[in-house]
Amino acid sequence: MKGYLVLSTGEIFEGEWFGSAADCTGEVVFNTGMTGYQEVLSDPSYAGQIITFTYPLIGNYGINDRDYESLKPACKGLIVGDLCELPSHYEAGHSLAEIAAHYGIGVLSGIDTRAITHIVRTEGEVYGLMTADPAKLDSFKPQPVGNVVPGVSVKEAQTYSEDAEGPHVALIDFGYKKSILTNLLNGGCKVTVMPYSVTYNEIVALNPDGVFLSNGPGDPKDLTPQLGELKQIVENYPTMGICLGHQLISLMFGCDTERLPYGHRGSNHPVKNVITGKVYLTSQNHGYVVKPESLAVSPLELTFVNVNDKSVEGVRHKTLPISSVQFHPEAHAGPDDTNHLFADFIRQCQATGEKSYA
């Protein structure tokens, strides 16, 4: 079946339609990873977005039951150059097209993904409509999606490894990837996943040894009403944040954030530790960053910087046990160069007997 993608910039692309036959709209973004399409598909940080894969062949090793990052994909649609319908891998239980149909996601194949990537890099904020009905191509009006975190966060607390002997970590869920939970559990932690709207009193009642702010989709400023509660929480517990969690920590301590021209999404982004000088390859998926000049008027200091565009990739509090990174040390898909940051956080939780730092 033929399908179409029309962009808010006016371009129209025609391809072959797979998956759900329903129309979908969303922000069009591109991911440069050569592998990991299953993890990308199931990453909640892509909520409200249509993902363009720059690698030409997608789906060749199929979909397995192990590598999902969430229970249900949150993205709106997928754009690929060449979709493999008959995957070849001993763990391939389903094809990408089958999984897309199961979860109600449309896939367009046979699209010039280089052209779409060039448009997004040139224009910045681009929205698209995927449809099988050519009559709808002239009537598309872009509708930016805001405040998407409530749709991907858990609704009530969920506890894992109840009998673990390690520290108890409260994982605040803004759209967390399963790999974050896995790394904490592998470190011997008991983990309680809490909704994004958690209060300070709820955290106190939980009595954790540390707090983790997860990744998630959208503009961090959409969560401004929550910053007061979050600040009170992180000021009283050892805290680590990733991606959206990093941006929220920066906002609550007086920094500012801004939208990147076209975002960082892929598994080969070089990041430099400004303290040691060491460079790491990292997995990234974000459209917003902390303004570097805003750090000067905050109690935070720079720890990591992006080698390519010098954007802020990590911060830490000057006096409190709070740190965060923009990239993904859990890295699925992607390199595990910075996976040691989980061990650093767990040791900090273990070493802290006093529960109050304010």
pLDDT, tens only, 28-42: 999 999 999 999 999
Mean local confidence (pLDDT), 309-333: 96
Mean local confidence (pLDDT), 265-288: 97
pLDDT at 358 exceeding the cut of 50: no
Question: What per-residue confidence (pLDDT) applies to 353?
Answer: 52
- The upper half-sphere exposure of residue 123, i.e. CA atoms within 13 Å in the direction of its Cβ, equals 19
Band (pLDDT 50/70/90 cuts) for residue 23 is very high
Mean local confidence (pLDDT), 202-215: 98
pLDDT at 314 exceeding the cut of 90: yes
Task: Read off the pTM.
Answer: 0.95
Measure the CA–CA gap between 126 and 26, rounded to whole angstroms.
9
**pLDDT above 70 coverage of the chain, percent:** 98
Q: Coil, strand or helix: which one is 30? A: strand
Measure the CA–CA gap between 355 and 358, rounded to whole angstroms.
10
Percent helix, strand, coil in the chain (nearest 5)? 25, 30, 40
Other C-beta atoms closer than 10 Å to the C-beta of 60 total: 17
pLDDT at 357 exceeding the cut of 60: no
pLDDT, tens only, 83-132: 999 999 999 999 999 999 999 999 999 999 999 999 999 999 999 999 99
Mean local confidence (pLDDT), 309-318: 98
Cite the beta strand spans of the chain per DSSP E: 2-7, 12-19, 24-31, 49-53, 57-58, 77-79, 82-83, 106-109, 127-131, 158-160, 168-173, 190-195, 210-213, 239-242, 257-273, 279-290, 300-306, 312-317, 322-325
pLDDT, tens only, 52-69: 999 999 999 999 999 999
Question: What per-residue confidence (pLDDT) applies to 334?
Answer: 85
Positions annotated as catalytic residues are 243, 328, 330
Q: How far is CA 338 from the centre of its chain?
A: 16
- The upper half-sphere exposure of residue 180, i.e. CA atoms within 13 Å in the direction of its Cβ, equals 29
Residue 288's DSSP bridge partners are: 259
- The upper half-sphere exposure of residue 119, i.e. CA atoms within 13 Å in the direction of its Cβ, equals 20
pLDDT, tens only, 225-245: 999 999 999 999 999 999 999
Which residue bears the tokens 């591109």?
30
pLDDT at 4 exceeding the cut of 70: yes
pLDDT, tens only, 139-180: 898 888 889 999 999 999 999 999 999 999 999 999 999 999
